[in-house]
Amino acid sequence: MATLLVRPQPPDAQGTVLDVTPESAGWEYVGFRVHKLAQGQRIEANTGERECCLVLLSGRATIASGEHRWEAIGERMDVFEKIPPYAIYLPNGVNYDVEAVTDLELAVCSAPGHGNHEPRLIAPDQVKRSTRGSGTNTRHIQDILPETEPADSLLVVEVYTPAGNWSSYPPHKHDTDNLPEESFLEETYYHRVNPPQGFAFQRVYTDDRSLDETMVVENGCCVMVPRGYHPVGAAHGYELYYLNVMAGPKREWKFQNDPAHEWIVNA
């Protein structure tokens, strides 16, 4: 894996600007894709062997899958409005159709599916909101598909980090299948920055430093976290949004802080 940073590309015929697959990432579980569709543009796909969570990052869409149809859903026109999104859960092995009612930014989060759940709408009032940390470690959470809600593999959450603050901090990891102490979860971070010319930093590192990569994250970039600790820092003057997708052999999020920085929790 040459780099953990994936930059957006000009949209293709399907509006795809970013596409992380298990094959491209060199891992087993998480897939992540972003489409930017113009009003009236339409895409059709099949979930294959993977369950999907379609997150309407901004804009409105009509989404259909089999007998299910959700007309003109979507409320926020920009992720930095900070209201919870609409999302659609889809199991593996189903067709789906998305039509952009307005210009649309759509995230397709995926992981191995086992056919245990029906397609469903995740409405904004179902998205739990919370705040973590304090001071310059404060960040705001919107849980789209947490482990308390039904799915086979996927965990999906979005986080707002105020300008100048740290996030995913103290540095923590979830790369060991050792429940109940720690779970193994691959993860992607899809970053948006406000104003968009800004930047943030993300570091991904292991205890032995066999993996130690620090990246300048710009608007629309994705960072892959196959293992290790993965803190994020937002530059002064620029607030940071990211959408996390996690999946692994067990659908449970248990992490361990870097022992060198554990003192911060108790300070």
Model confidence pLDDT, tens digit, residues 18-40: 999 999 999 999 999 999 999 99
CA-based torsion, 237, 77, 160, 33: positive or negative: negative
List of residues 6+ apart from 244 with CB closer than 8 A:
155, 156, 157, 158, 159, 187, 188, 189, 190
> Is 70 exceeded by the pLDDT of residue 104?
yes
The closest alpha carbon to 57, from 3, 4, 8, belongs to 8
d(CA 117, CA 189): 25
Does 13 or 1 have the greater pLDDT score? 13
DSSP secondary structure of 80-148? GG-PPPPEEEE-TT-EEEEEESSSEEEEEEEEE--S-S--EEE-GGGSEEEEE--GGG-EEEEEEE-TT
pLDDT at 1: 44
What is the C-alpha R_g of the chain? 18
List of residues 6+ apart from 208 with CB closer than 8 A:
none
d(CA 160, CA 116): 31
pTM passes above 0.95: yes
> Is 80 exceeded by the pLDDT of residue 14?
yes
For 231, the 3-state DSSP assignment is coil
- E strands, 42-94, are 42-46, 50-58, 61-65, 68-73, 87-90
The answer to whether 139 and 160 are in contact (CB under 8 A) is yes
At residue 2 the predicted structure's pLDDT band, cuts being 50, 70 and 90, is low
Q: What is the DSSP letter of 209?
A: S
> Rounded mean pLDDT of the chain?
97
Residues above pLDDT 90, as percent of the chain: 97
Predicted confidence (pLDDT) per residue in 151-169, tens digit: 999 999 999 999 999 999 9
